[in-house]
Amino acid sequence: MLRELFTPSVQHSLDIIGIFVFAISGALLAVRKNFDVFGIAVLAEVTALGGGLFRDLVIGAVPPAAFTDLGYFLTPLVATVLVFFLHPEVERIQGAVNVFDAAGLGLFCVTGATKAYDFGLGLTASAAMGLATAVGGGVLRDVLANEVPSLLRWDRDLYAVPAMVGAAMVVVCIRFDALNAATSTFAAATAFLLRLAAMRFHWRAPRAWNRRSSAVEEA
């Protein structure tokens, strides 16, 4: 089904773009944490490939694409070199990086859900794999950097929710035999625009009702 939505060359190009922008975000966090060049490369690779690697292992798509396509592995290294030498300039265009990151989120939640369904998972499990593909690398990045994962923090703009919406739209389309290039693009665009709106208007998930905790957010 995934191959029916986009040509292999288009799919590969979209994957490379998504991997690159995710790798940039991982490398920038490593610089902020004062990691050395090896640490920057590790965080870039994990952020870019972690979600897809987890998905492929769960659904049995082995060896994972990260280990069969050299471009997938080398792209985060290109991002590492770019950030290592030009991180002040990259930081200055953080807004643009965030836009591309949102685009990668939309793309990966769609392709992740579709690939999971191709490998025999049910609709709910496929949606979960779409979410994992989109946000898994960011979770691993934050854990390795000794931070609470961003999608678990109340003070961060919605990140997982747009991916959940995009993945849910995919499985609904599959259920009604309506998944095609147009509807999958619409699902990715919806996730992308929701993420942009969350960043623009600082939308956040609600915390527990009548919360009594006196805990404060760490600086």
User: pLDDT digits over 57-110, tens only?
Assistant: 999 999 998 899 999 999 999 999 999 998 888 778 778 778 888 988 999 999
Average pLDDT over residues 212-217: 58
Q: Are 117 and 61 in contact (CB under 8 A)?
A: no
Average pLDDT over residues 204-213: 77
Q: What is the mean pLDDT of the chain?
A: 89
The amino acid that residue 66 corresponds to is A
Residue carrying structure tokens 């691993």: 140
Average pLDDT over residues 20-40: 92
Residue 208's pLDDT is: 80
Helix, strand, coil in percent for the chain, rounding step 5: 75, 0, 25
**Eight-class DSSP state of 29:** H
Residue 213's pLDDT is: 58
Task: Report which of residues 210 and 81 the model is more confident about.
Answer: 81
Quick one: how far is CA 42 from the chain centroid? 16
Q: Are 105 and 150 in contact (CB under 8 A)?
A: no
pLDDT band at 190 (very low <50, low <70, confident <90, very high): very high
Residue 187's pLDDT is: 96
Q: 150-167, pLDDT tens digit by residue?
A: 888 888 899 999 999 999
Collect all residues with Cβ–Cβ distance below 8 Å to 129 and sequence separation of at least 6: 55, 58, 59, 112, 113, 115, 116, 121, 167
pLDDT of 219 > 50? The answer is no
- CB count within 10 Å of CB 103 equals 20
Task: Report which of residues 211 and 51 the model is more confident about.
Answer: 51
Q: Any idea which of 87-91, 142-146, 177-181, 215-219 has the lowest mean pLDDT? A: 215-219
pLDDT of 11 > 90? The answer is no
CA distance 208 to 199: 22
Residue 212's pLDDT is: 67
DSSP line for 79-133: HHHHHHHHHHHHHHTHHHHHHHHHHHHHHHHHHHHHHHHHTT--HHHHHHHHHHH
Q: Are 151 and 139 in contact (CB under 8 A)?
A: yes
pLDDT of 3 > 60? The answer is no
